[in-house]
Structure 1
Amino acid sequence: MKTDLFEAMEVLAEEKGIDKEVLYETLDAAIVSAYKKNFNSKTNVRVDLDPKDGSMRVLARLNVVEDLEDEDLEISLEEAREIDPAYAEGDVVEKEVTPRNFGRIAAQAAKQVVTQRVREAERGVIYSDYADRLEEIIIGTVQRKDHRYLYIHLGKVEGKLPMNELMPNETYEVHDRIKVFVTKVENTSKGPQVYVSRTHPGLLKRLFEVEVPEIYDGIVEVISVAREAGDRSKISVHAEDPEIDPVGSCVGQRGQRVQTVVDELHGEKIDIVHYSEDPVVYISNALSPSKVVEVKVNEEAHATTVIVPDNQLSLAIGKRGQNARLAAKLTGWKIDIKSESEAYDDGELETSSTDSDLELDEE
């Protein structure tokens, strides 16, 4: 039975990817606990395990004393010297106290404790696997849903997609396949909890990494993402190499690359913006598709006033202010938009002419 126990430990360690030493430490503690419980012992004991020959011994650790007071914890100096004349007061004598047929008791204790330890170790492995995939895309299958979550089968664990992080223009049913972005991984008493999203800006960034080799290889860098999921997004990109067109790389031949991302997001409109360290150029690009006449920058307030042609004002602001709002999120600058006429009346422009439109860095 002892040999069978060790063989089972070896198999468990290999199958579950758990360090054998961790299992043996768990087994050691389980056997000590079983001994004290089953034999009502207060004795300080340790277990000597030898996986090679399958042996198992329980050893009582007794303090050597001149005057014996507690036989469960002590041994007299006289008796100790009968074992070995070299013993002195204060030494510790180890004496085998393995009961007959103790293997059965040890096996029962081991099964309970080791099973629990294996379960914990498995949870730890799963947690580590998914913690490493934080802010990555995972493809899963919808298992079930309630009023709070879609529950997504992600392989070894069930992911939770909050209903408010599902795009308003999409619905999923049980067994549907779905691409999700991992936003949080928690190690709880109930096991690893993985939370995912379809509305997170990171999903858009990762989708472009998949579709655009230049981004994946680091030739083109995604600087920022602003997203109103299911409706419209803006993404700014940059390439150190002036020979590389970062916007064109993302759009792809005949718009194929960006269209693949749009299709995955069920028609969400995506503006791809050329990043610039110059806030005037960057903000002008971010307000695309509208034209810009002038950008006045207030560095101290981290704010700008953007002047656009009269006939471009509604386009620059966008429906319900969306274009201006996304541009502000993308660039990190406050943006106040005025028409040429308004700016001229306020004395912010000397002339009112659409011929003075700011030349944008259009790709």
Structure 2
Amino acid sequence: MDKAEFMDALNLIEKEKGIDKEIIFEAIEASLVSACKKNFGSGQNIKVVIDRETGNVACYAQKTVTDEIKDEQNEILLAAARVLNPNYTVGDVVDLEVTPRDFGRISAQTAKQVVVQKFREAEREILYNQYITKEREVVTGIVQRRDRRNIIVQMGKIDAVLASNEQIPGEQYNFMDRLKVYVLEVKQTTKGPQIFVSRTHPELVKRLFEQEVPEVFDGTVEIKSIAREAGSRTKIAVYSKDKNVDALGACVGQNGYRVNVIVKELGGEKIDVINWSDDPKEFIAAALSPSKVLAVALNAEEQSAKIVVPDHQLSLAIGKEGQNARLSAKLTGWRIDIKSETQAKATNFISEEPADAVDMEEAMDVVHMEEMQEEELTQE
């Protein structure tokens, strides 16, 4: 490649890849300084200059003007300097051209290496800038392979890592499966962007609702909190400031259609949608759906709640292996202690009268929604 072709190539790279020519010139000059020092010794001050218009390369030994030479490699006597330019004084730096005979070949090889390196760096930067905007978002990827316990998911030009602890328990990942994943982090590395994704993060559920429910996407319905045990069950509390909008109904959809789309995407994971309330008693009672709640007593200092449920619904309120109570506690932020009506009376568990302000219709909505989910999954 001659100098004209090299300059044309730099102009093209600057235009198409957005790499400033000056950055490339400076990188080539720095690399050529190292090459020159191999010829003249590492202790010598070397400067390389590339003409920005012609591409010509020159190598200079830099020497400081002095009255008495103590370092022959880096100093020059005042008298000798003034032969070159009578205006030099002690302390000035003189550039003496020492361009090696084969420097053109060396500079051409170095220039090629630098351009390739800068090209790769620019590609990595472009990709990083493209994918960093997807952090904390949901994207669709395609399963490529298994790497030990990790799953490699193709996301456009980059493969993302779905680590074992971010995989839904029991979920199967087969080659070319399409997956929706939550982008946890995008890192810039020397080999390019590295992306880590999740199928278990609670925000995945939130983003899926944003995609599926227009009212959530536009902010009409707000998701106040989420509690999730990936692959098994999720509870999500929703609220709308607009009294004309049924937040729970919007998220569930007609005949449960909207929520069932999300359930299918998560491999049949059950989703309880409940109405959020700023009244802790109402909120906790709704969170324990599908169980009915007879009474709620709060201890604000300890952020704990005592719950009374009908005798025949104690196991339903607690849930299999305590899951319903555990998720309700996560969702509301209150520690929950549940007793049946008979147990409560026998131990004077709650001294106040049973609360009649608990919204039973909300609980029944969730029961109905779950029935629809199970019915549809059974039909499939």
Match of 2:337, SS?
strand
Segment of structure 1 superposing worse, 81-90 or 295-304: 81-90
> 1:73-92 residue pairs with structure 2 within 5 A?
73-92=74-93
Deviation at 1:178, TM superposition (A): 1.7
Does residue 107 in structure 1 map to residue 101 in structure 2?
no
**Hey, what does 2:370 align to over in structure 1?**
none
User: Contact 1:226/1:330 (CA < 8 Å) preserved in 2?
Assistant: yes
Contact map agreement 2:306 2:350 (CA 8 A) in 1: no
Give CA deviations for 1:32-73 in whole Å, capped at 9, x if unaligned. 112222444643222222333323222332211112344431
Q: Which residue of 2 aligns with 1:211?
A: 212
Q: Which residue of 2 aligns with 1:327?
A: 328
Counterpart contact for 1:77–1:89, Cα < 8 Å:
yes
Determine the structure 2 residue equivalent to 1:31.
32
Residue in 2 that maps onto 1:49 = 50
Contact 2:143 2:173 in 1 (8 A): yes
Alignment of 1:1-363 (within 5 A): 1-40=2-41, 42-349=43-350, 356=356, 358-359=358-359, 362=362
Shift of 1:333: 1.2
Which 5+ residue runs of structure 1 have no aligned equivalent? none
Q: Structure 1 residues 117 and 237, CA, compared in 2 at 3 Å: closer, same or farther?
A: same
How big is the shift at 1:7? 3.0
SS in 2 for 1:175: coil
- What is the one-letter code of the residue matched to 1:216? F
Indicate if the aligned counterparts of 2:295 and 2:353 stay in contact, CA closer than 8 A.
no
Q: Give the residue type in structure 2 aligned to 1:83.
A: L
CA contact (8 A) 1:3 1:55 kept: no
The 2-side partners of 1:152 and 1:305 are apart by 45
**Does 274-283 or 115-124 show the bigger shift?**
115-124
Which stretch shifts more, 64-73 or 199-208?
64-73
Q: Deviations along 1:138-182, whole A, 9 cap, x unmatched? A: 212111114411111112221111234322353121122221111
Shift of 1:188: 3.7
TM-score (norm 1): 0.90
1:21–1:301: structure 2 CA closer, same or farther, 3 Å change rule? farther
Identity %: 50
What is the root-mean-square deviation in Å for CA atoms of aligned residues?
A: 2.5
Preserved CA contact (<8 Å) 2:234 2:270: yes
> What is the deviation of 1:256?
1.9
Segment of structure 1 superposing worse, 193-202 or 343-352: 343-352
Point out the more displaced range, 66-75 or 205-214.
Answer: 66-75
CA contact (8 A) 1:13 1:23 kept: no
TM-score by length of 2: 0.86
CA deviation string 1:214-236 (max 9, x = no partner): 22222222121111222211111
Cα shift readout 1:245-276 (whole Å, capped 9, x = no counterpart): 22122112332211111111122111111112
Measure how far apart 1:360 and its partner are: 5.0
Deviation at 1:123, TM superposition (A): 3.0
Tell me the CA shift for residue 285 of structure 1. 1.2
Structure 2: which 5+ residue stretches go unaligned?
Answer: 366-380
1:259-312 deviation per Cα after TM superposition (whole angstroms, max 9, x unaligned): 111111122111111112221111111111111112111111111111112222
| Deviation (angstroms), 1:350 | 5.9
CA deviation map 1:106-136 (0-9, x unaligned): 1212333443343344334433433332221
Paired residue type of 1:132:
T
Contact 2:138 2:207 in 1 (8 A): yes
Structure 2 vs 1, CA of residues 37 and 313 (structure 1 numbering), >3 Å: closer, same or farther? same
Aligned to 1:142, the other structure's residue is in SS state strand
**1:344, 1:351 within 8 Å by CA — same for their partners in 2?**
no
CA contact (8 A) 1:281 1:361 kept: no
Q: Aligned AA for 2:358?
A: L
| Secondary structure in 2 matching 1:171 | coil
Give the partner amino acid of 1:177: R
Distance 1:17 1:342 in 2: 73
SS at match of 2:161: strand
Secondary structure, counterpart of 2:47 in structure 1 = strand
**Secondary structure in 1 aligned to 2:326?**
helix
Distance in 2 separating the partners of 1:18 and 1:237: 48
How many angstroms does 1:205 deviate by? 0.9
On the 8 A contact 2:185/2:196 being kept in 1, the answer is yes
Is the alpha carbon distance of 1:64 and 1:184 closer, same or farther for their aligned partners in structure 2, counting shifts above 3 Å?
Answer: same
Distance 1:32 1:146, change over 3 A: closer
Amino acid at match of 1:106: S
**Count of aligned pairs:** 362
> C-alpha separation between the residues in 2 aligned to 1:118 and 1:260?
43
